[in-house]
Structures are given as C-alpha cells and as structure tokens.
Structure 1
C-alpha cells in the first residue's frame, strides 16, 4: 500500500523508541481494515516534517515512513497537491494555482515514494497506490520494478478534459497514471473523463475502458484498464458501534443537551470549500427567516473538522463560515435555543455514531465529492431504520444510494430549502422505507467488498509482456 499518509501519527523519543497513535482521515479509515493482518507494508509520510525512522510495526501492519522536509510539505503537499490539483479536480470551485517549483517538488517526492515501495516489494508483488498526491508513482515504480502488478485508486473526482487541460503538466500526470495496470475511480464518469484525457493528450489508443500503451517505436507494451470501483466503509463496525447501550445513551444525552428539539439536523464535514457548508448554512438561515423552521423546535449541529489550515483558501472559508454562524445565531437564537451549534473539532467514532443516532436529518450538501463516506456512516449507524439523508447529487454516493436519500442541488438554495423542510417533516413510515433501502446497499457493499473487487480485477489481469 502506498499513500500520502501512514495510518498513524508517530513520534520518536531521545532513546529512538516510537510512540504512535492512529491518525484521522477518510483514506486511513477506508484502508486500515484492508491492511490488518495482510502480509504487506504501508508506505507513507509520518505527518511531521523531517522525521526519519526505519520501518516499524503498529496495529499488525508494517509501516514504512517516507521523510518529507518542511519545504517539501509546503510545496508538494500544501502547494501542488492541495492548491493546484485539489481545486482543479473539484470543478475549480476555488481557482487553482500553478507554480513550477511546486511541480518540481511534487515530482521529487513522488519518486521518493516510488523508490520506497520498490525497495519493499517482493518479486511480482501487488502494489496499490492511492490518490491525487501520488499520480506519478505508478510509472516511476513501473520503470524501477517492471515485475510488479500495480494498481492506482483515485479517491477524488477526475475532471473533464476541458478543465484538466489547464494543467501545464497534464501529459506527465496522464503518463504517470498509465504506469498502473488498473486505475480505479469513484464514478463511471470519472473513468470516462480519464479515458478522454488519454485520447486528447497522448498517442495511446483506447477502446471502451481499455487503454493500449505503446512505446516510443509504436510497439504495444501493455493494456491498462480504467474503471469505477465506488469505495465504502466498514459498515458492520459502525452498525455495531451504534447498537452499544453507552452510544445510545450518549445520543439521548446529546439531544437533552440541545434542549430536546423536535428536529435535530446534522452536518459533518472537513472544513473544505467543496463540502457546501456555506450553502447549507445559508439555506438553514433563510428557513428561520421565512418562519418555515424555528429555533424552539429545530436546531442544526455542524461539525467542521480542521483541514489544511496553512492553505489560504481554507483560512478564508473558516472565517466566512464562523461569521455566518455568528450572524444567524445572533439574529435568531434565543435563551436556551441556539440556531446553530458549530463545532470546529474532530471526534472519535463512538461520538460520531452517537451524533448520527441523535440526528433526525443528515445534511450532505457537497458541491463536488468523489464519494462522501459520511453519508454511508450515517446510514450504517441507523439500525433503528429512522432518520432522513439529504444528499447532494454531486457526490459519488448519490450514484450508489439513490433513490433512498432526498437528492439536492446545493447551488439551488430555494430547492434545497424545500428539501430540508420535506426531510424535517417526513413521516416515520416513509423514513423507514427509505432507510431500509439505504441500509441494504451500505451493509452489503462495504469496504472489504470494495478492496476485494479492486484487487480481484487487478490480479486477474493478463501479465505484462514486451509485446502484447
């Protein structure tokens, strides 16, 4: 496994001993169950600048740290990954920034990851590379170790070629990805976007999801498959968490602390401009202003976990969101009844399960999202078959879960207001019908099935030959 981050944050004391704790993040949450007990290694960055250490074992996994300097973190991670690729791949909701120095750092760091993976991999091993921070690794790894079976999974959207074409290093990214045997995406549309980019930007030929890779002499060397493999969660784990008596007691306690509202709405997001937090809060504030909801009977809990706080766009977003929350609370709040409870923290899974159980309406209003695992966590936690999921049609989850959720276009504030009101007043019979449908999907298509499907397709692909 090769990913930007290790599944743990670790520190080394003066005696050289390692102290570690599990690190947060959706990618880690998704991949950790896959790696537990597997005969393999996880290559990734420690999360701290300049920290060097030999491979070590934690939580039954061999972890191989890749060292990044503070300058590389600024240029490769905060710069090219999160201020160039992230906004470009999310429909330019925020304008991307292009710097040649950032690209140089990205290329240099990708090579370091590839070299670390090449050093760990046994002959003929399977290597699974993850996400937009490491798109050059497949080809670099292929050049270093042509014996390997290489898969790549893109956890975020892949943009239309009309947007992707803005990137000065677009061809290098495409060729980097084509080093893999299998390239996975969240949605069929993302896979199609990639294949179109191959046709537009390279000389390789395509037929459906298959890209035929040729060398400089035009000889066919490999076939690469690009396809959708929608990711999921450890559904059983969340279901079991939500059934624990202490979690159910905590859910009741949360509602009591909020004044036992008739309608508790919940948003859970990283504080990211792609998540539609401002649109959601604006719609909720207008519903209070219109009198269609009131603070005596309804409240919104917004969990916004800290994210990329060194990137300017994220600092501006936090200021805007907190200002909006303050204005709405000041205008509509009453003693004992806040309009919005805003929580700028991350919470452990037990607390999240309790929040999901407490919430009558889950609001997922992303402007663009590869999948959105929060929507699936909410469903997995609702073994009582109650609750309503309001879900943006611009998430990968919308492709999978419809018609169970109420789908919304977050750019349409009036339409979103109507759907929020419909969710708040949905009768229990309709809630049960929709939630049962959602749970059948989420409980059967879990993260284990996702990884088994991807790895099954990867290992079944024909072996590479010099001329196919």
Structure 2
C-alpha cells in the first residue's frame, strides 16, 4: 500500500481539541490521520544560524517530519516572496505586492533545500501531495533530484486572473514550475479557468475543456499534466458534535449571560487584509445607522487571531481595525451595551464551534478567499431546530457551494448592512430550509471526498482517462 506524503510550508502543531488552526492545517490533518503517512515541512522555528536538522515524531498513524529555517531563509522565502509577493497578488491586491529578486532567489533556494531534505525519507511507491503557494517550485526540485514518484499540488488560496498574475515579475517561472507536478488542484472552477487562461494565452500551451468529470489535460513547457477543481470540505457532523459538547462550557455560558437576550453576529478570521474586516465593521455600523431599532438589540463579536505579526501590512490592519472598533463603539455604545467586541486571540475549536451555534448570524465576508472553511464550520455547528443565517462573500470559494447563504459583495457596505438586517429578521422556516440545503451539500462533499477525489486523480495521472470519483475511496483502492 502506498504511503501518503503530505508536504506543506508549516506542519501545524495540531492536537485534538487544541487551538483552532487554519483551513490548510485542519483539512490536511483530517485527511492524513485516516490514511496514515508522513507530514513534512517547516517546524515554525527560526534559527539564527547553523544547519537545521530534521525532527521525526510518530503520533498514531502519522509521522511528523519537521525542520527549522535559518533567519535569512525565513526572511526571503517566507516573509519575502511568499507573503509579501505571492499572497497579495493571488488575493488580487497588486497594490500591496512587494518584489525583490533576492527574495525570489531565496524562495527557490529554500524549496530546493527542503526537497533535498525530504528525498532520503521517501520510498519508491510513495505518493506525494504538496500544498500551497509557498511550495510552487517543490516538484521541479524533486524532479531535479531524480524523484519519479507521483506528485500532486493543491492551492488553498485563489489563483489570480492572468492580468493580475503578470504583476509578479517571475510569473512565467512560477507557472512553469507548477507544470512539473502530475496533478494540480484548485479550490474552484474560476481558479482553474484562470490557470488555464494563463497556459493558453501567456505560455503558448493547451488546456482541454474538462468533460465527464475528468480533469483538464494541460500541455505546456514540454510537460503534460492534469488540473481540476477540488473544493475542500469539513466533517460537518463532527463539528456539530463539538458545538453541542461546548454549549455548556464556561465561555459560551459567559457570552450568553453578557448578551442579555440580544442577538449575536459572529465572525472568526485570521487578522489579514484579505478578509474584509474593515468593510465588515463599517457595514455593521451602517446597520445601526439605518436600523435604529437594532441598537442595544444585537452585538457583533469579531475574533481575529494574530498572524504574520512581524510584517508591516498586518501591523497596519491591526491598527486600523482597532481604530474602527473603537470609533464605532464610541458612537453607539451605551452603559449596558458594547456593539462590537473585537478579540485578538485564539480559541479552541470546541469553543468556536459552540459560539457559532449560539449566534444568530455568521458573518463571513472576505474580499477574496480560496475556500474559507469558517463558512462551512459555521453552518455545521448550527442547531437544526433553530439555525442561524450565514452572510457570505461572493468572493469566498465556499459561495460556489453554499447556496443557502445570503451572498454579498464585500465592498458593498449598504448591501452587507441590508443582508445583516435580513438575516436577523429571517423567519424560522426559511432558516431551517437554508440550513438543510447547505448541510446536505457539506455532507456530500466532506473532507474525505476532497482527499479521495484528489488522490484517485493523482494515481491516474498520466494514464489516458483519469476518472473522478465522487464517493469516498481509500488510498489502497
């Protein structure tokens, strides 16, 4: 039986019931713990100098192989090209792109070095699944080292339109590196179309239209590979159980007691400029402006754990958000009511699930997002007898699936305020109907289906007719 080797920038320190991790970490770990295998990547440690060594830890069916980065590599590969260049570009923020040739050289160098660290750990029949934008050159580096294994890549963030990607000077080198993989996975069909558009119009390649559930065949840079959309899912019933178990916990009891029967709007995001947090705060302010009856009747809780705190763009969004929440609270607060509770820390998954269940509205409005699993987790956590309403950005990948949400444009402040008012006033029967529709979709395409569809297509990559399967299959099949 083939082993599954997961490669990601960061090997998250996930523990059952521990602090909530990002979508990549949750999705990958849920997939890997069922099949067993190895998870390889950066440990999160930054060393002043020296030669980092791999640490290997067995935890149940999963082997964690991690390694630190020296400061220079961290600055160029992670802070530099990955997060100052690729992240803003792939989230359609060309105005925030910072590019330095030395950072790109460091990005390629670290990918090559990481690939060399993995090679001695590989077996001939391993199947390698590489994740996200930090590791675009990884397959090219493995091929240069003589690795013949099947190698797939999944992009957790959006793939930008060609004219946006052209803002990244080494765009051609990046796409050529992607073509070293056997299978490319994207979150949504629009992301896949953007990639194929680049292949055809910028790389002089070809990309066949997908048919009968088969991935697209791509030919470019002397390589033939396959590409398809694989929307990442969650385990909705597992999240529902977490939410039920957390309802009686102290955080939720405290929240309910301080609400004093007010309705609750709930948001959870990493503190990032792509999440539309400032626009979200202003739309809540507009709701209070236009619907005076909602004042002292509803509270908005925004949990925004810190991320990349050593980068100026993230320091700026934190300052801006703190200023907006203070301004809005100063304008509308009363002695017994604080309109916005802005919390800059992490909470455990069970606590978040229970808070979702206790809320009347889930408020998920990124300016651009690959999928946004918070939207799916919010729906999963709801009480079927009295579910809340999801207000969701059309630019989150989840909007392609969650038709029962109220879909909004995250830059339309008035439109979001109107959606909040609609959600707060929605009758029970309509809330239940929307909830049931979305839960059916989440169960049909849970994280196992995401994994199994991708793995089946990766196993078939290179054959004449790779076939998509939409029911769960094991890696051994």
TM-score, normalised via structure 1 length: 0.91
Q: CA deviation at 1:395?
A: 0.7
Counterpart of 1:334 in structure 2 is 334
CA distance 1:214–1:81, shift in 2 (3 Å)? closer
Counterpart of 1:161 in structure 2 is 162
The answer as to 2:445 corresponding to 1:440 is: no
Deviations, residues 185-214 of structure 1 (Å, cap 9, x unaligned): 001111111112122333433323211245
Distance in 2 (CA, whole Å) between partners of 1:4 and 1:368 is 21
Show structure 1 runs of 5+ residues with no match.
11-20, 216-221
SS of the residue corresponding to residue 269 of structure 2 reads: strand
Q: CA deviation at 1:341?
A: 0.7
Counterpart of 1:301 in structure 2 is 301
Does the 8 A contact of 1:80 with 1:98 survive in 2?
yes
Deviations, residues 283-312 of structure 1 (Å, cap 9, x unaligned): 111222334453321110111111111111
Distance in 2 (CA, whole Å) between partners of 1:293 and 1:170 is 52
Does the 8 A contact of 1:210 with 1:226 survive in 2?
yes
The answer as to 2:423 corresponding to 1:423 is: yes
CA distance 1:245–1:190, shift in 2 (3 Å)? closer
Counterpart of 1:276 in structure 2 is 276
Deviations, residues 444-466 of structure 1 (Å, cap 9, x unaligned): 311111101100111122359xx
The answer as to 2:98 corresponding to 1:97 is: yes
Distance in 1 (CA, whole Å) between partners of 2:122 and 2:35 is 14
Counterpart of 2:12 in structure 1 is 7
Distance in 1 (CA, whole Å) between partners of 2:170 and 2:448 is 35
Q: CA deviation at 1:9?
A: 7.9
Counterpart of 1:71 in structure 2 is 72
Distance in 2 (CA, whole Å) between partners of 1:79 and 1:461 is 33
Counterpart of 2:392 in structure 1 is 391
Does the 8 A contact of 1:248 with 1:357 survive in 2?
no
Q: CA deviation at 1:73?
A: 1.2
Higher mean C-alpha deviation, range 49-58 or range 371-380: 49-58
Show structure 2 runs of 5+ residues with no match.
1-5, 210-215, 465-477
The answer as to 2:42 corresponding to 1:35 is: no
| RMSD value, Cα | 2.1
Distance in 2 (CA, whole Å) between partners of 1:245 and 1:313 is 35
Does the 8 A contact of 2:36 with 2:61 survive in 1?
no
Distance in 1 (CA, whole Å) between partners of 2:384 and 2:20 is 30
Counterpart of 2:474 in structure 1 is none
Mapping of residues 5-404 of structure 1, within 5 Å: 5-8=10-13, 24-36=21-33, 38-50=35-47, 52-92=53-93, 94-208=95-209, 209-213=216-220, 215=222, 222-244=223-245, 246-247=247-248, 251-261=252-262, 263-385=263-385, 386-402=387-403, 404=404
Distance in 2 (CA, whole Å) between partners of 1:65 and 1:354 is 32
Q: CA deviation at 1:441?
A: 1.0
Q: CA deviation at 1:128?
A: 0.2
CA distance 1:433–1:228, shift in 2 (3 Å)? same
Q: CA deviation at 1:58?
A: 3.0
When the two structures are aligned, how many residues end up with a matched partner? 446
Q: CA deviation at 1:390?
A: 0.3
Deviations, residues 255-302 of structure 1 (Å, cap 9, x unaligned): 2222221x2111111111111111110011122233445332111011
SS of the residue corresponding to residue 420 of structure 1 reads: helix
Q: CA deviation at 1:236?
A: 2.6
CA distance 1:254–1:9, shift in 2 (3 Å)? closer
Higher mean C-alpha deviation, range 359-368 or range 292-301: 292-301
Distance in 2 (CA, whole Å) between partners of 1:26 and 1:461 is 26
Distance in 2 (CA, whole Å) between partners of 1:120 and 1:204 is 35
Q: CA deviation at 1:60?
A: 3.5
SS of the residue corresponding to residue 91 of structure 1 reads: coil
Does the 8 A contact of 1:288 with 1:295 survive in 2?
yes
Higher mean C-alpha deviation, range 240-249 or range 345-354: 240-249
